[in-house]
Amino acid sequence: MAYLFTSESVSEGHPDKVADQISDALLDNFLAFDPDSKVACETLVTTGQVVLAGEVKSNTYLDVQTIARDVINTIGYTKGEYQFSGESCGVISLIHEQSQDINQGVDRAKKEEQGAGDQGMMFGYATKETHNYMPLALDISHKILQVLADLRREGNEISYLRPDAKAQVTIEYSDENVPQRIDTIVVSTQHDDFNNDDALMLAKIKKDIIKILIPRVVAQLPKHIQSLFNSDIQYHINPTGKFVIGGPHGDTGLTGRKIIVDTYGGKGAHGGGAFSGKDPSKVDRSAAYASRHIAKNLVAAGVANEILVQVSYAIGVVEPTSIFVDTYGTAQVDLNDGEIAEKVASIFDMRPFAIEERLKLRNPIYLESAAYGHMGKEPKVITKTFESPYNGKIEKEVELFTWEKLDFVDKVKQEFSLQ
């Protein structure tokens, strides 16, 4: 029987994502000036206020207020009428030193013997559904909001947009788990006050989303995905009506509240740990990236059409306590899931320090991951500039989204005797 599946995304101006981006900007600055920094930064944003808290062990000192303001301004909160802007908001820092009780379980004389920064389980997922091995509903939801942000910044075709927005896509699947059509698209976008009839305002916003935004999104998709869009799609555009009050003024934002948006949109599984603001010694982040790296390379190599990888750790312990694989019955090799997991353990070193080294995670690469998903983006090399009144100015060339690289496909094929 055919079924429907839904995923959502939120924009960079969503209050929780504002908090995530501030936390990851702080992390990047700590790592830029001291790559050995241990960081767990949390951010709260609300009307006119930013609160920074958390634990840090680092040899550098930062102007955290300026970093937070720069992120807020870059997102687009620059006007007084938003009741939250980078120039005028208050920024309170309650960041303090990391607990020595935790640190003694992580740092070791030999770096390769570094223990996990926490206990827990982490998941990675990949599917052949899209070119980037991500679930389709989530991929389209991200694209809708990225295009919406482009239109907001351009300010030509749609001039009334404000930074806060959400999107949701529902797809109909066949019995064979193949996407058949787009059933429903929901877009809620913050906007300027039109100062006129609300019905006319809603009609204009709906028309602009359907006639301007959606065609741009469709144009970015491959032909076989474009064919899923048709005239029967149900659109719910700003279904609650007026959306002038938004962002941190409309809803308090906290780091780590969008973990499903950050990962697979409800497909696969999630261990519960958030990513943003955490340095890679925290396996909540690094092992989730490593598990995605494994799953993506396995699917790309042809081991299965869909794969979930779970890894688990005990705090302070070097080796993972378990590695689990679920191919959902789509395996293309003559092995059961337990045997596949054994091969995975032999191919990928999942000790925390090995993950950091393999994926180059001790670099300032995290701000770019903090909006529109941590998974599914194209790996690339960029140069980032960091400036501090305490540390001066430095430029660093870094590689983003290393966990998305298909650099283990040949090794996986060899291990699984695939052509």
Q: What is the DSSP string of 1-15?
A: --EEEEEEEE-TTSH
Q: Is the same domain home to 389 and 306?
A: yes
Q: Is the same domain home to 86 and 19?
A: yes
How do beta strands 179-191 and 161-173 pair? antiparallel
Residue 149 marked in a binding site = no
Run of H or E residues at 249: helix 247-250
CA–CA dist 34, 343 (Å, integer): 36
CATH number at residue 82: 3.30.300.10
210: helix, strand or coil? helix
198: helix, strand or coil? helix
| Residue at 38 is within a domain | yes
Residue 258 marked in a binding site = yes
Q: Is the same domain home to 203 and 313?
A: no
| Residue at 53 is within a domain | yes
Q: Is the same domain home to 217 and 310?
A: no
Helical H runs in 34-166? 64-75, 100-106, 136-154
Q: Is the same domain home to 214 and 335?
A: no
pLDDT at 116: 84
pLDDT at 419: 81
pLDDT at 199: 87
Residue 166 marked in a binding site = yes
Residue 257 marked in a binding site = yes
Helical H runs in 40-192? 64-75, 100-106, 136-154
pLDDT at 354: 96
Q: Is the same domain home to 300 and 406?
A: yes
- The last residue of a domain, from among 194, 225, 246: 246
Q: Which residues pair with 396 in a beta bridge?
A: 384
Residue 28 marked in a binding site = no
Residue 278 marked in a binding site = yes
Residue 14 marked in a binding site = yes
pLDDT at 117: 79
Q: Is the same domain home to 124 and 271?
A: yes
Residue 251 marked in a binding site = yes
Residue 242 marked in a binding site = yes
Q: Is the same domain home to 194 and 329?
A: no
| Residue at 368 is within a domain | yes
pLDDT at 27: 98
| Residue at 105 is within a domain | no
Q: Is the same domain home to 231 and 269?
A: no
Residue 154 marked in a binding site = no
Q: Is the same domain home to 233 and 274?
A: no
Q: Is the same domain home to 189 and 264?
A: no
Report the C-alpha dihedral over residues 419, 409, 383, 30, rounded to 10 degrees: 180
CA–CA dist 168, 5 (Å, integer): 11
Residue 16 marked in a binding site = yes
Listed as ranges, residues in the chain with pLDDT below 50 are none
- The last residue of a domain, from among 246, 270, 296: 246
Indicate the number of domains in the chain: 3
| Residue at 114 is within a domain | no
Domain that holds residue 93: 15-99
Residue 42 marked in a binding site = yes
Residue 116 marked in a binding site = no
| Residue at 112 is within a domain | no
The CA radius of gyration of the chain, in Å to the nearest whole number, is 22
Q: Is the same domain home to 268 and 406?
A: yes
Kindly report, residue by residue over 212-261, the tens digit of the pLDDT: 999 999 999 999 999 999 999 999 999 998 999 999 999 999 999 999 99
| Residue at 106 is within a domain | no
| Residue at 115 is within a domain | no
Rounded to the nearest 10 degrees, the angle between the axes of helix 283-301 and helix 352-359 is 60
- The last residue of a domain, from among 214, 246, 278: 246
Among 56, 94, 88, smallest CA distance to 73 is for: 88
Residue 296 marked in a binding site = no
pLDDT at 391: 87
